[in-house]
Amino acid sequence: MKLSIITINYNDKEGLRKTIESVLSQTWTDYEYLIIDGGSADGSLDVIREYEDKITYWISEKDNGIYNAMNKGIVKSKGAYLQFLNSGDYLVDNKVFENMTERRKQNIRMNRELLLRPFSVRQSTTSRHFSTGNCLINMVCMTNN
Does position 128 have pLDDT exceeding 60, yes or no? no
Q: What is the DSSP letter of 76?
A: H
The residue among 10, 14, 65, 2 whose CA lies nearest residue 35 is: 10
State the Cα–Cα distance between residues 69 and 2, nearest whole angstrom: 21
pLDDT 10s digits, 33-68: 999 999 999 999 999 999 999 999 999 999 999 999
pLDDT 10s digits, 88-119: 999 999 999 888 888 777 766 655 554 444 44
Q: 3-94 in CATH: which number?
A: 3.90.550.10
42 versus 131: which is more confidently predicted? 42
- Residue spans per domain, the chain: 3-94, 103-144
pTM across the whole model: 0.73
State the Cα–Cα distance between residues 86 and 12, nearest whole angstrom: 10
